[in-house]
A and B are shown apart, each in its own frame.
Chain A
Amino acid sequence: MLQMQNINKIFRTELVETHALREFNLTVNAGEFVTVTGPSGSGKTTFLNIAGLLEEVSQGKYLLDGVDVVGLKDRELSRLRNEKIGFIFQSFNLIPDLNLFENIDVPLRYRGFSSKERKRRIEEALEKVGLAARLKHMPAQLSGGQQQRVAIARALAGEPKFLLADEPTGNLDSLMARQVMELLKDINKQGTTIVMVTHDPALARSGQRNIQIVDGQVSDFSLFNNQKQEFNSQTEQVNTKETEAV
């Protein structure tokens, strides 16, 4: 689904040159739920922006669903973003002047669906997140958890293959955070690839794979996780034998 090879991202000002990502390599397979962690300033947001086609790379190769996106024009990038990617943000990023229906309608408008199709998708998406009865509500009339569910509905309405979530539970209390995570897991089970950035170690474990970004590079813990799993399994076997011997 996502392949990044030797990605470099450099931010230049007159005085400073900042390497946000350096020789960054990552592959996310279709249907995976990958969590991304890392200290502040490590490059998580830059990775997310590049993954979401919101920023261009300085160097490297990026394939999204088989499409080489480096060097594409804005219009093509926007179309890809609209068709293949759904975004979920920490601060929900609902447009305050638009009601729920109109908020979810935004990406569908850019897709060029008919009004009938848009209506069907919006109602279905709101149904999925349990807010079907609040079509005409304004974002300010909802709780934080409800707003995030609307944001998820907006991301899902276009039926993207790839969901990018940036601290989706960061602004929510634990109960609401759990509800949102359950929702994301359900979405993933239905086949949507999810990459979620989080600071929360508990949430980081909820994905199938966790990667850590440090100083603009990936530290892949899958090997460590596998070794850890193998060690645990061996330990369990030893314990069982000891018990049997006793």
Chain B
Amino acid sequence: MFKYYLQLAWKSLIGTPVVTSLMLLAIALGIASSIGTLSIYHMMSMDPIPEKSQQLFALQLKSYDENQTNWGGYDDGFPAQITYQDAVNLRRGNIAKRQTAMLRITFAVQLEDSDFTPKLERSRAADREFFSMFNAEFEYGGTWDKSADEQGQKMAVIGERLNRELFGGGDNVGKQVSLNQKSFTIVGILKVWEPTPMFYDVNGSAFNDTEQIFVPFSLLPIYEYPSSGNNSSWKNEDIFTYQDKLQSETHWIQYWVELVDKPQKENYQDYLSAYIENQKQAGRFTRKDAAADLKNVTQWLSYNEVVSKDNSVLVGLSFLLLIVCLVNTIGLLLAKFLRRAPEIGVRRALGASQGQVFIQHLVEVGLLGLMGGTLGIILTQLALWLLRTNYSSYKLIANMDMVMLLTAPSIAILATVLAGIYPAWKICRTQPSIYLKCQ
């Protein structure tokens, strides 16, 4: 019977093209607005590194002066970044499986090839384990040597996009690239790597493109790279030189560790406690409740409100619009179904039960939902494409992944079937004898 109901549904839909178009448009607009917003929300709130999100931890230190309360902008009083001194000190420990200090910087990129127009490129100074920690895979080459982490060597890992821009792609490991007028050797070229959100540095926007140049963190004191990220200090200090900044209490370095299990995490926490005690004894950490905190990726994204509550409200509003569209569809369906009451009277006289009439109409609204949902997905894709094209910050999040591609038609069909229940119920309850005399 289902096939028969589908045939009837198709006949009915094409038999009333204007009403069908209006209903399709209403459903498609409702679906496009809700699914579009939900897709962006879904992409924003996705776990960017699910296989490791519980093992990677952002490190925070509450090390500021006792007179300050809750400095750093977070409720728990832990600033998001740490000082350079602390980063350098903590790097000496080897308890974590992997660790990296890092800083967002900007390079002026040049090639010896005079045809290449120099450009500014968002970059990152990090330790060699950055790539394996965050599952950034290499197309060619690999990370720099350990010695580069210790002594600061002019080695660089570049991203897939920059490799294409500089050299037209291919294996260019060993070639030179000029960064801030210093020649660096390319040791590794990454595959496309776009963790969304960019969890390891959520300062500014967590939805920017990932950096295309990575150099050893140990180069900071040598080439004195200014930070392109946040710099904040609780202490009133005279900072005239880069060395002054390195020695200051400015919080400007991000620090991540990879701790594979609970014992390792406990060991690391002990190590941090010992470090804090050591700094207290050295007279640097003056507050009694100086402490360290480790937040995993999930906690870190929530802590930084990467997906703000506004987004949830927006999703709610978009679904309200879907409801409005569906209410309109209910009206149109009611009008359409009730106009068909004489035919239903005949069908009932010929042996159709109320249940069969009900299912016949639900199949029709289901088909309508599928068609409306498909049109809605096309509209959603168009809207997301417009967002990606016009706003670079939407490049990574204005997308529908497989989950959303499967969810969208399900929502469309479910929503339309729900909307169709009342009209279908109404038509199946009509008294057939009324219509048989006067059809």
Contacts and interface: CB of A to CB of B under 8 A. Distances in A.
Interface of A: 45, 49, 52, 54-55, 74-75, 78-79, 81-83, 87, 89-91, 93, 95, 97-98, 106-107, 109-112, 154, 158, 166
Contact of A74 (B12, B342, B353, B437): B353
A95 B351 contact: no
Contact of A79 (B11, B349, B351): B351
A111 B432 CA distance: 19
B350 A75 contact: no
Nearest to A155: B350
A74 B349 CA distance: 12
A181 to B, nearest CB: 21
A132 B13 CA distance: 29
Contacts, number: 74
Contact of B346 (A45, A83, A95): A95
Given A87-B349, A90-B437, 14 more contacts: A54-B433, A55-B431, A78-B351, A82-B351, A87-B350, A87-B436, A89-B437, A93-B346, A95-B347, A98-B11, A106-B346, A107-B350, A110-B351, A154-B350
A151 to B, nearest CB: 10
A132 to B, nearest CB: 21
Contact of A52 (B349, B438, B439): B349
Nearest to A95: B343
Contacts of A109: 1, 4
A106 B347 contact: yes
Interface string B303-328: 00000000000000000000000000
User: In the complex, which of the residues B4, B346, B351 has the most CB atoms of chain A within 10 Å of its own CB atom?
Assistant: B351
Contacts of A87: 349-350, 436
A157 to B, nearest CB: 10
Interface residues of B, number: 26
A81 B354 CA distance: 13
A83 B437 CA distance: 22
B432 A54 contact: yes
Nearest to A151: B346
Interface in B102-122: none
Nearest to A49: B433
Contacts of B4: 109
Contacts of B436: 54, 87, 89, 93, 166
25 contacts: A52-B349, A54-B431, A54-B436, A55-B431, A74-B354, A74-B355, A75-B354, A75-B355, A78-B348, A78-B351, A78-B353, A81-B350, A87-B349, A90-B437, A91-B437, A91-B439, A93-B346, A95-B346, A97-B12, A110-B350, A110-B352, A110-B353, A154-B350, A158-B351, A166-B437
Question: Lowest 9 CB-CB distances: which A-B pairs, in order?
Answer: A82-B351, A78-B353, A107-B350, A110-B351, A49-B433, A54-B433, A75-B353, A93-B346, A87-B349
A52 B437 CA distance: 13
Contact of A55 (B346, B350, B433): B433
Interface in B396-438: 431-433, 436-438
A93 B439 contact: yes
B15 interface: yes
B356 interface: yes
Contacts of B347: 95, 106, 110
Contacts of B352: 78, 110
